[in-house]
Amino acid sequence: MAESSTLTGAIRDIVQRHGGMPTRLLQILRDVQDRLTWLSPETLERVAEEIGISPNKVRSVAEFYSFLYTAPRGRYDILFSDNITDRMLGNRQLLHYLCDRLRVGVGKTRADGLVTVGTTSCTGMCDQGPAALVNGYTLTRLDKSRLDCIANLIESRIPLTEWPREFFEVYSNIRRADILLGRHFADGSALRATQKRGPDAIMEEMVKSGLRGQGGAGFGSANKWLSCRNAYGDVKYVVCNADEGEPGTFKDRVLMQDFADLVFEGMTLCGRIIGARQGFVYLRGEYRYMLNALKATLQQRREAGLLGEAILGDPSFNFDIEIHLGAGAYVCGEESALIESLEGKHGVPRIRPPFPTTHGYLNKPTVVNNVETFATAAKIAVEGGDWFASRGTAYSKGTKLLSVSGDCERPGIYEYPFGVTVNRVLEDCGAHNAQGIQMAGPAGHTISAKQFHRLICFEDLATGGSFMVFDQSRDILDGIRNFAHFFVHESCGFCTPCRVGTSLMRDLVDKVHTGHGTLYDLEEMRKLGRIMQVSCHCGLGQTAPNPVLDSLQEFPEAYERRLRSTAYEPAFNLNQALEEARQLTGRHDPGAYLNDEDLLVGVMP
């Protein structure tokens, strides 16, 4: 009785702190979980009651996001980042090492409820892995001695606030700077330029700049802003996509950590131009560690008259920014799923058209841009469109931030004018022995050395920024398999070909990877991949087969050397399937096996 009333009290406080707004449901559930470690059915009912929405709405959100738990979880919740780059740095051995030390199974909660250890999709620390999250906070550069220390801290129940700060340190690793990262930007200068010259003149600079969306799709940013500006309605929104879920990408992390003012200024500028008063940053859950610092920056900007009411003393210029934290869902980087998530729902992509510029947040006209796009826009407002357009190629103006990781001496952030060759990047980052690159993340392109002369730009090799290097010692198929599993985990499940197709593809890749595949299976992969590419509802499913299709083309030998010589091999192992019957009947004579080879395998254990 007493216990349930404190539960109600705690939940009521949290809900009230969020103004009881259904749009803040995801944020509310995060806060509730922080208090209670997991979301029991009773807790979810209470949350629904307090907000005044139906319990199944709350459950559907709780069941959707990886970082929300509807089963008991340890007080210390550790998730190892499981991108291929973490694997290349030995995260698997470390995972098992920690599990052994803490006497807990992978993905399990220890019986005493103290700790859970599991894995999660790429946490955006590929330049300083192996990485993990503890209760949502980033741990970098893990090794055995760090894990020894962490195991002791956990066993002694030391609160996270007392753990050594260096465990949580995130370096920026900026290796090459050009016009975006290299030139000084005075806070407020873009807004002052807009005050002085008027929003129309700045919009004109945006048009001249030719800036294209830096999130990967490369849609013309000026067109997007204009379309939203011209859209019918008084209430409009600006949304900054800081979900950065593409494995191998971490440039938005660095922009948010070191250049937050520039990003916020770009958003405010956009608000001024399109006529919005409210902006949102959708920050991926994995970057929770920087939330407080970002909130402080927003407060400083309000105090400096660069945000909030009457910006720069102009009573007609009002714009504020709120930060929403994601909770582990790659699909929420897709702009319409992101908007759904911002509205407090589970992140299923909407039917498009209509597009967000006319029907976005709460169905109002909304600009959604990537972090880098907003940062660049702020620079363009100050330095001008021509200045920006003087760099890059004919159809890809300006510069691009690349997140370089994998087998190279200097992983980190590299800013290049568009049109740089892959070779040049490899040289600069100290990748001497590269066999292949995963460009633009798993959703992008797998390329072999034959393609290293190609240019990084929208006309040739388009990218959102991920650049993962595999050297000659690597097995390309390890990467492909990692990506296939990633897409299974991240499919939202809405449409058939992605929900089912990602699992079928994973099973085929696993079959080949474990040496059971045949030529027939390769053809199956091609066929399945083609169906997914053209039939899925959103970009996630449409790009999910890319790594398999590309690598079949670029690295056929990685597949062929694993194939069985037979034309067809069943997906299940017949001999293994008979094992249960053998156990039951106690038969181990040669007649109980299909052939001699199986007999050998069969008696081994």
Partner 1 sequence: MSEEHSFTLDGRRIPFQDGQTVMQAALEAGVYIPHLCFNPEFTPHGSCRVCLVKVNNRMQAACTTPAADGQTVQSETEEVRDIRRGILQMLFVEGNHVCPACEKSGACQLQAVAYYVGMLAPHFKHFYPRRPVDASHPEAVIDFNRCILCELCVRASRDVDGKNIFAVEGRGIQAHLVVNTPSGQLGATNFSIHDKAAQVCPTGSILTKHQGYNIPIGQRLYDRKPINIVGDVAQLSESLGGRRHD
Residues in the site for partner 1, rule: CB under 8 A?
41, 45, 54-56, 59-60, 63-66, 329, 346, 351, 353, 488-497, 499-504, 507, 527-528, 531, 534-537, 571-572
Shortest separation between residue 168's beta carbon and partner 1, angstroms: 29
Tell me how far apart the alpha carbons of residues 37 and 170 are, in angstroms, rounded to a whole number: 25
Shortest separation between residue 500's beta carbon and ligand FMN, angstroms: 18
- 277 touching ligand SF4, by CB under 6 A: no
Question: Exposed, middle or buried by CB within 10 Å (0-12, 13-18, 19+), for 270?
Answer: buried
Nearer to partner 1, 293 or 571 (CB): 571
- 331 touching ligand FMN, by CB under 6 A: yes
Nearer to ligand SF4, 282 or 494 (CB): 494
| Per-residue CA distances from 322 to 32, 192, 250, 287 (Å) | 19, 22, 22, 15
| Per-residue CA distances from 458 to 153, 188, 444, 538 (Å) | 48, 31, 12, 20
Q: How far is CA 458 from the centre of its chain?
A: 21
| Per-residue CA distances from 3 to 6, 7, 10, 395 (Å) | 5, 6, 11, 63
Question: Which three-class secondary structure string do you get for 180-207?
Answer: HHHCCCCCCHHHHHHHHHCHHHHHHHHH
CB 396 within 8 A of CB 458: yes
Binding partner of residue 534 among ligand FMN, partner 1, ligand SF4, none, CB cut-off 5 to 8 Å per kind: partner 1
Tell me how far apart the alpha carbons of residues 112 and 155 are, in angstroms, rounded to a whole number: 11
Question: Which residue stretch of 64-72, 124-132, 210-218, 417-425 sits at the interface with ligand FMN (rule: CB under 6 A)?
Answer: 210-218
Which residue in the set 494, 555, 559, 593 belongs to the binding site for ligand SF4 (CB under 6 A)? 494
Which residue in the set 538, 549, 552, 558 belongs to the binding site for ligand SF4 (CB under 6 A)? 538
Question: Exposed, middle or buried by CB within 10 Å (0-12, 13-18, 19+), for 370?
Answer: buried
Question: Which residue stretch of 89-97, 209-217, 321-329, 340-348 sits at the interface with ligand FMN (rule: CB under 6 A)?
Answer: 209-217
- 395 touching ligand FMN, by CB under 6 A: no
Binding partner of residue 504 among ligand FMN, ligand SF4, partner 1, none, CB cut-off 5 to 8 Å per kind: partner 1
- 541 touching ligand SF4, by CB under 6 A: yes
- 168 touching ligand FMN, by CB under 6 A: no
Nearer to ligand SF4, 224 or 537 (CB): 537
Binding mask 306-345 for ligand SF4 (x = CB under 6 A): -------------------------x--------------
Nearer to ligand SF4, 217 or 293 (CB): 217
Strands 76-81 and 132-134, by their bridges, are antiparallel
| Per-residue CA distances from 324 to 239, 294, 382, 483 (Å) | 10, 11, 28, 27
For 78, list phi and psi in degrees, rounded to 5: -110, 125
Give the other-Cβ count within 10 Å of 310's Cβ.
11
Nearer to ligand FMN, 84 or 211 (CB): 211
Q: Which of 326, 292, 65 is nearest to 161 (CA)?
A: 292
- 495 touching ligand FMN, by CB under 6 A: no
Tell me how far apart the alpha carbons of residues 431 and 285 are, in angstroms, rounded to a whole number: 31
Shortest separation between residue 219's beta carbon and ligand SF4, angstroms: 18
Nearer to ligand FMN, 250 or 559 (CB): 250
Binding site for ligand FMN (CB under 6 A): 213-217, 219, 241, 243-246, 330-331, 333-335, 368-370, 373, 538-540
